[in-house]
Amino acid sequence: MAHVSIIGTGNMGQAIASVVSKGGNTVELFGSADKAQQLTGEIVVLAVPYPAVAQVIAERGDQLAGKVVVDITNPLNFETFDSLVVPADGSATAEIAAALPESRVLKAFNTTFAATVASGTVGDAPTTVAIAGDDADAKALLAGVVSAGGLRTFDAGALSRARELEALGFLQLTLAVGEKITWTGGFALV
């Protein structure tokens, strides 16, 4: 049994918490009022918007040492919806991994809208959670929790593939905002 801490109580944090519970694993959710509360999960999901990640790291960096840290962000410029705010050859995940050298950092859940995590379907297809990272054990631990909760997973490769996952998340967000797809749809891996 795995114990998962989720920082962020928005749509994504709640949907991921529900998946964790459904699989028989335990979960604790932290909102912004819970800053003083210690994280106890071996997996910690940073379910906050990209601009809020730096503050979470500043506040909880020490507590994240030794843990599997899951970055779910899409680091878009939300004013223009026309670019990412991370370097073109990098990713939010690479930045987070650099800031947390004692953690095993994974990218996951940035290519699945909250509704598709909650329902288990993207349109009529099953929801598949992409996971990228450099630590095979960490990826297997997260994949186990996610698949126990009823969602498929796929191993997208090394941490460097977070760049492509963020491109995919970016594209998918622009399509949803442009009403070319719905928030219950998107890219399904079949």
The least CB distance from residue 154 to a copy of itself, in Å, is 6
The least CB distance from residue 92 to a copy of itself, in Å, is 14
Which single residue is written with the structure tokens 């918007």? Answer: 49
Backbone torsions φ then ψ of 46, nearest 5 degrees: -90, 85
Those residues whose C-beta lies under 8 Å from the C-beta of residue 110, and which sit 6 or more positions away, are 71, 72, 73, 74, 130, 165, 166, 169
Query: Taking CB under 8 A as the rule, does residue 62 contact a copy of itself?
Result: no
**Token pair of 168, please?**
């995919």
Query: Taking CB under 8 A as the rule, does residue 190 contact a copy of itself?
Result: yes
Burial group, residue 37, by CB count within 10 angstroms (0-12, 13-18, 19+): exposed
Closest CA to 141 of 76, 68, 83: 68
The least CB distance from residue 151 to a copy of itself, in Å, is 16
- Pick 63 or 160: Cβ nearer a copy of itself: 160
- Pick 57 or 125: Cβ nearer a copy of itself: 125
Which single residue is written with the structure tokens 């941490």? Answer: 159
How crowded is residue 74: how many other Cβ atoms within 10 Å of its Cβ?
A: 20
In whole angstroms, give the CA distance from residue 33 to residue 20. Answer: 22
Query: Taking CB under 8 A as the rule, does residue 88 contact a copy of itself?
Result: yes
The least CB distance from residue 59 to a copy of itself, in Å, is 31
Q: Return the residue of 8, 13, 133, 186 that touches a copy of itself, per CB under 8 A.
A: 186
Query: Taking CB under 8 A as the rule, does residue 80 contact a copy of itself?
Result: no
Query: Taking CB under 8 A as the rule, does residue 168 contact a copy of itself?
Result: yes
Residues from 108 through 167 that contact a copy of itself (CB under 8 A)? 122-125, 154-158, 160-161, 163-165, 167
Which parts of this chain interact with a copy of itself (CB under 8 A)?
Answer: 82, 87-89, 122-125, 154-158, 160-161, 163-165, 167-168, 170-171, 174-175, 178, 180-181, 185-190
